[in-house]
Amino acid sequence: MILQSALIFGNNEYGLEIAKNVTNKYNNITIFSLDAIDKEHVSSDYNLEEVTLSDDWDILESQFDMKKSIIFCVLGDEAKNIFLTISLRSAFKDVTIIALANNKEDANKLKMAGASKVIPIVETTANIITDMLKKPIITKVLHNILYQDSKLKLVQIEVKNAKYFENRYPADINWSRNHGVLVLSIIHKDKAPEFIYSSKTKHKHIEDGDIFIVVGYDMDICEFKKSIGGDVCQ
pLDDT digits (tens, 9 = 90+) for 174-190: 777 777 787 877 887 76
Residues 214 and 151 in one domain: yes
Residue with the bigger pLDDT between 23 and 208: it is 208
Domain CATH code at residue 45: 3.40.50.720
Other C-beta atoms closer than 10 Å to the C-beta of 233 total 11
Same domain, 24 and 104: yes
Please name the residues in contact with 33: beta carbons below 8 A apart, sequence gap of 6 or more: 10, 11, 48, 49, 50, 51
- 228: domain CATH number is 3.30.70.1450
Residues 110 and 176 in one domain: no
Average pLDDT over residues 95-102: 90
Pick the last residue of a domain from 106, 121, 136: 121
Average pLDDT for 188-217? 75
7 & 116 share domain: yes
Residue 57 has pLDDT above 80, yes or no: yes
pLDDT at 155: 79
What average pLDDT score do residues 100-123 get? 81
How many domains, in total, are found in the chain? 2
- Say yes or no: 147 and 231 in one domain: yes
Give residue 169's pLDDT: 81
Could you tell me if 158 and 92 lie in one domain? no
Same domain, 101 and 73: yes
Q: What's the CA gap between 180 and 160, in Å, rounded?
A: 19
Average pLDDT over the chain, rounded to an integer: 78
Residues 111, 142, single domain; the answer is no
What is the extent of the structural domain holding 207?
Answer: 124-234
| 89 & 132 share domain | no
Q: Domain end: 72, 105, 121, which one? A: 121
Whether residues 114 and 129 share a domain: the answer is: no
What is the pLDDT, as a whole number, of residue 172?
Answer: 78
* Cα 233 to Cα 16: distance, rounded to the nearest angstrom: 34
Q: Report the alpha-carbon distance of residue 206 to residue 74 in Å, rounded.
A: 33
Looking at the structure, do residues 157 and 91 belong to the same domain, yes or no? no
Q: Looking at the whole model, is its pTM more than 0.85?
A: no
Residues of the chain above pLDDT 70, percent: 74
Q: Which of 88, 121, 154 is the last residue of a domain?
A: 121
Higher pLDDT, 225 or 198: 225
Pair (117, 7) in one structural domain:
yes
Q: What percent of the chain has pLDDT over 90?
A: 20
pLDDT digits (tens, 9 = 90+) for 117-176: 887 765 434 444 545 555 555 555 665 655 555 577 777 888 898 888 888 888 778 777
